Amino acid sequence: MPPTRSAVGGVGLGMAATGGALYASNLNQLFRLDPDERAWRALAYDVSPTRVYNELVGGPGTLHIVGGASGRRTHAVVDRVEVASLRPSDVVEVPRRPEEMAADRPVLAGEQRWPGFRGPAYGHSQAFDLPLVWSDERNLAWRYPIGGYGQSSPVVWDGTVFVTAIDGPLRETQMVDAVDLETGALLWRHALPSTHPVEVTDVVARGSPTPWVDAERVYYLFESGDLGALDHAGEPVWSRSLKADYGEIEGYGLGSSLAANAETLFDLAGHEGPSYLLAVDKATGKTRWKADHRRADRPLRSSWTTPIVVPSDAGELVVVSITGMLDAHDAESGERVWWLDGLSGNRIPSPVLAGRRLVVPAMDSRSNLALSVEHRGRLLDEHVFWRGRYATTSMSSPVATGEAVYFTNSRGVLRSLDLGSGESRWATRLASVTSATPIVNGDRLYVFGADGTTSVFAVDAAEPIELARNTLRVSERVYGVAAVDGALLFRTGRELIRIGHGSTGGTQR
């Protein structure tokens, strides 16, 4: 008989045959009979919620798991499983519950703040107690309906979530919402009129730039060029219009998110007109420096990448990937320290720093590359460590670990490249295409599908090991995610959703 892991043993054990194989389920797990070894093998599929009585029904290429009752209440649950998606568990013995596995995970420092796009560390989170499995009925804490539409990611500071949005047929209203992390209740909303109203279509930015938050202020930027700061009570500190200061915002609007160091905000104003990288004093909003990116040898096209601030032997650098080029500027003065040209397809995904190695992503595989940040002047091919000819990316940016860098492309493929050599380690098809950048949390890699499907993979494995696949009901694309202690925060066009252990059903706010 299949192994069991509960005191009630095989009560309610269900069996079915399909595709020439025999399957069984007990309280909360699925097994397949291995005919070669004449043994039952656990599959990486979590039957949730736990059921005392199960029935398995086989069909062409599918299994239906019909739920009965638990010890507390009756479940009317039917899971439809594609047999082709079932893989053996990565452990030989009967897998333990996720909460039982927690003690074996890497030690995490904890994370209560997610200050900007991709958090404090290029998509890495030290958060405690992130759930492995969830659904609309399990580990869903709350849903908050945002008062407008947006494509930015949420940011978090000590129990408060900040999210931006636009509203109106001309994007004429812009807003910043502060939401209580614990309850999902709105704490305050700051609304401001757009200084650059444009008709809403599918080809213009709609609340795209992710804000930045620190201990004193929340900083916002909208595609209109409206830039400002609020205190943590929602009161304005300063505001300005980049359109008024530097000219019309042409094309689709600004899409780059804010980056920052201790005293300065950095913004890439990459649009169809004269583009520039801007450094702004956090306290006053005044310009510290401005680096123009208009060059006679490069056609002007919009860029929506986000600058990153990186350490170097010569001091902090602001690195920005703009259409056709990669530039590094001195963070204090704005001086252009080094640059690499000849790139293609690099105007959406943002670079990632892995140690002292910079990985540059692009939609063109020839422009996916790695290099050092320690340079001066114009870079040549000899300065490039590798070009990842197997990988491409589109909307989401890559995330790197100690051994690998992970890319998701426009066709819904996750690929792992060796960080040292750029050679492909493996690739696997995802359930959905992605917009949000993946997150690494200890030994887990969370990959967020645009349709609400999240796959969780083992980090740095030699092959793709999918630990869990979770589905949330969403009416619009998932654009961004934040991760802090006990909480994953999903942002769709018009909704903010918190996932956390021990929640059932979710509260609509």
Q: Quick one: 477 and 458 in the same domain?
A: yes
Integer-rounded Cα Rg, in Å, for the chain is: 24
The shares of helix, strand and coil residues in the chain, as percent rounded to the nearest 5, are 5, 45, 55
Task: Report how far residue 328's alpha carbon sits from residue 78's, in angstroms, rounded to the nearest whole number.
Answer: 54
Q: Output the CA torsion 93→94→98→103 (10° steps).
A: -40
Q: Please identify which residue in the block is written with the tokens 């300005």.
A: 240
Question: 78 is written with which tokens?
Answer: 């039917």
Beta strands in 390-477 (DSSP E): 399-400, 404-408, 413-418, 424-429, 439-441, 444-448, 453-458, 466-471
What does the pLDDT look like over 243-265, one tens digit per residue?
A: 999 988 877 778 899 999 999 99
Integer CA distances (angstroms), 86 to 30, 109, 131, 252, 304, in order: 9, 34, 21, 42, 38
Q: Which of these three, 58, 73, 95, is where a domain ends?
A: 95
What does the pLDDT look like over 330-368, one tens digit per residue?
A: 999 999 999 999 998 888 899 999 988 999 999 888 889
- Residue 222 counted as domain residue: no
State the pLDDT at residue 204: 65
Q: Quick one: 395 and 489 in the same domain?
A: yes
Task: Report how far residue 5's alpha carbon sits from residue 30's, in angstroms, rounded to the nearest whole number.
Answer: 12
Percent of the chain with pLDDT over 90: 60
State the pLDDT at residue 365: 83
Q: Quick one: 70 and 125 in the same domain?
A: no
Q: Quick one: 396 and 507 in the same domain?
A: yes
Number of domains in the chain: 2
Q: Quick one: 492 and 432 in the same domain?
A: yes
Q: Quick one: 440 and 396 in the same domain?
A: yes
pLDDT (mean) for 406-434: 94
pLDDT at residue 74 is higher than 60: no
- Residue 26 counted as domain residue: yes
Beta strands in 247-351 (DSSP E): 259-260, 264-269, 276-281, 287-292, 308-310, 317-322, 325-330, 336-341
- Residue 498 counted as domain residue: yes
Q: Quick one: 406 and 488 in the same domain?
A: yes
What does the pLDDT look like over 158-207, one tens digit per residue?
A: 999 999 999 988 888 999 999 999 999 999 999 999 988 878 777 567 88
The larger pLDDT score, comparing residue 337 to residue 302, is at: 337
pLDDT (mean) for 409-438: 94
| Cross-strand bridge partners of residue 415 | 407, 427
Task: Report how far residue 484's alpha carbon sits from residue 28's, in angstroms, rounded to the nearest whole number.
Answer: 28
**Phi, psi (rounded to 5 degrees) for 336:** -75, 115
State the pLDDT at residue 79: 77
The larger pLDDT score, comparing residue 214 to residue 172, is at: 214
Q: Quick one: 494 and 478 in the same domain?
A: yes
Confidence of residue 238 (pLDDT cuts 50, 70, 90): very high
Task: Report how far residue 350's alpha carbon sits from residue 320's, in angstroms, rounded to the nearest whole number.
Answer: 8
State the pLDDT at residue 68: 59
State the pLDDT at residue 414: 96
pLDDT at residue 19 is higher than 70: yes
* pTM, full prediction: 0.79
Q: Quick one: 105 and 74 in the same domain?
A: no
Q: Please identify which residue in the block is written with the tokens 């000819």.
A: 389
- Residue 349 counted as domain residue: no
- Residue 338 counted as domain residue: no
pLDDT at residue 280 is higher than 70: yes
- Residue 243 counted as domain residue: no
The larger pLDDT score, comparing residue 20 to residue 435, is at: 435
Q: Residue 482 maps to which CATH number?
A: 2.40.128.630
- Residue 80 counted as domain residue: yes
Q: Quick one: 81 and 105 in the same domain?
A: no
Confidence of residue 294 (pLDDT cuts 50, 70, 90): low
- Residue 208 counted as domain residue: no
**Phi, psi (rounded to 5 degrees) for 21:** -125, 155
**Phi, psi (rounded to 5 degrees) for 508:** -85, 120
Query: Parallel, antiparallel, or unpaired: how do β-strands 217-221 and 287-292 relate?
Result: unpaired
Task: Report how far residue 341's alpha carbon sits from residue 28's, in angstroms, rounded to the nearest whole number.
Answer: 54
What does the pLDDT look like over 4-15, one tens digit per residue?
A: 333 323 445 678
Q: Which of these three, 68, 95, 122, is where a domain ends?
A: 95
Domain that holds residue 133: 101-146+391-509
Mean per-residue pLDDT over the chain, rounded: 86
Integer CA distances (angstroms), 92 to 3, 28, 42, in order: 12, 17, 8
How many CB atoms are located within 10 Å of the residue 457 CB?
Answer: 24
State the pLDDT at residue 203: 58
Find the range with the poorest average confidence among 34-43, 208-217, 427-436.
34-43
pLDDT at residue 95 is higher than 90: no
pLDDT (mean) for 28-32: 72
Q: Quick one: 435 and 458 in the same domain?
A: yes
Find the range with the poorest average confidence among 67-71, 307-311, 397-401.
67-71
Q: Quick one: 397 and 480 in the same domain?
A: yes
Kind and range of the H or E run holding 33: strand 29-34
Q: Output the DSSP codes for 383-395.
A: GEEEE-TT---SS
Q: Which of these three, 78, 95, 112, is where a domain ends?
A: 95
The larger pLDDT score, comparing residue 302 to residue 335, is at: 335
Residue 169, SS3 per DSSP: coil
Integer CA distances (angstroms), 504 to 192, 350, 501, in order: 36, 36, 9
